[in-house]
Amino acid sequence: MAQDSVRQYYEKLEPKFEEYKGIKALSERGVHAEVVATTKQYLKPKDRVLDVGCGRGALALRLHDAGYEVEGCDIFDLCECKDKIKFTHTSAEEAHFEGLFDAVFMVEFLIAVEAPFSVMRQYAPYIKPGGYLIISSANVDADSSRIEYLLRGRKPYFEPHNVANDGALNPLHDFQFQYMFKELGLEQRLRRTILPFETPPPGFGWAAQRLLSTYRKLGSRSEDSGGDGRIAIYVAQKTPSP
C-alpha cells in the first residue's frame, strides 16, 4: 500500500479496532491494554523499549504513558506521537538502532511481514541480556481456529479481505514461536490468550468444539490446547549475562 492509502485505511477502521487518545491502531480493541498490563510484570519505569511496526503510535504512546522510554519504527511515516517518543521512519528489515533495549515489542506485526523469522533474527541482537521480546499474534492454535479451518479451509484473521486490507499474510503457530525462541537464545516466560472466541451456534462447528473440549478434559492431549482466546501474547526473555 502507498502511504496515503494506508492513512485513509486507518481513518475507516471500525470501532472494534484499538484506539488510544484519538490514535487508531490496526489491532483489536483491548489488545494494547493487555500488552501494557503484561509488560508491567516484567519491566520497571524508565526502561528503554522499542515498538516495531508502531503504525500511528497508539501502543507506543501507551507505553510512554506507562513510564517507559519508547522508540518506534515503521515503514510508513504516520506516527502521531513524535513529541513523546523517538520515531524512526524505516522498514523493519533495514532498521538500525543505537544501543540495546530492555524490551522489543512486535504487537500484531509478525503476521504482516513477508519473512517473520528473518525479522525476529534481526531484532533479537537489540535486546539486552535479561531483556524481553514481547509479541502478540492471532492465536491460530485455538480450537475455534482449527475448526474454522476444518470447515472452510481458512483461519480467522486470514481471509482474503484480511490479506488485501490488513496485510495479514502469515498464520504463525505456537511450535514456530518455540522454534525461533530456542534459536535466538530466548526462554519463554509467558504465553496467554485473550479475547475469547464466540461460541458457534448449534451445528457441526459447535459439535466439533464440544468434542475437542471434552477430549482435552479427559487429559488425552491437553498439551495441544492453544487456549480459547483469539490473540496470543508471548513474553520471551534473552539469556541473562553470567
Per DSSP, 63 falls in state: H
The residue with greater pLDDT, 45 or 142, is: 45
The structural domains of the chain, with segments of one domain joined by +, span: 3-140+157-200+228-238
Give Rg (Cα) of the chain: 18
Which stretch of 70-84, 116-130, 134-148 has the lowest confidence by average pLDDT? 134-148
pTM comes to 0.87
Condensed to tens digits (0 to 9), the pLDDT of residues 77-90 reads 999 999 999 999 99
Are 23 and 81 within 8 A, CB to CB?
yes
- Cα 2 to chain centroid distance, Å, stands at 23
User: Which grid cell is 63?
Assistant: 507505553
Condensed to tens digits (0 to 9), the pLDDT of residues 192-205 reads 999 987 665 555 45
**For residue 13, is pLDDT > 80?**
no
The CATH code belonging to domain 3-140+157-200+228-238 is: 3.40.50.150
Alpha helices in 44-105 (DSSP H): 58-65
User: Which grid cell is 56?
Assistant: 500511528
**For residue 234, is pLDDT > 90?**
yes
**Selection from 221, 53, 240 nearest residue 137 by Cα:** 53
The Cα–Cα gap between 17 and 35 comes to 15
pLDDT of 11 reads 64
pLDDT of 153 reads 74
Condensed to tens digits (0 to 9), the pLDDT of residues 135-194 reads 999 999 987 777 777 677 777 776 776 666 666 678 999 999 999 999 999 999 999 999
Are 226 and 156 within 8 A, CB to CB?
no
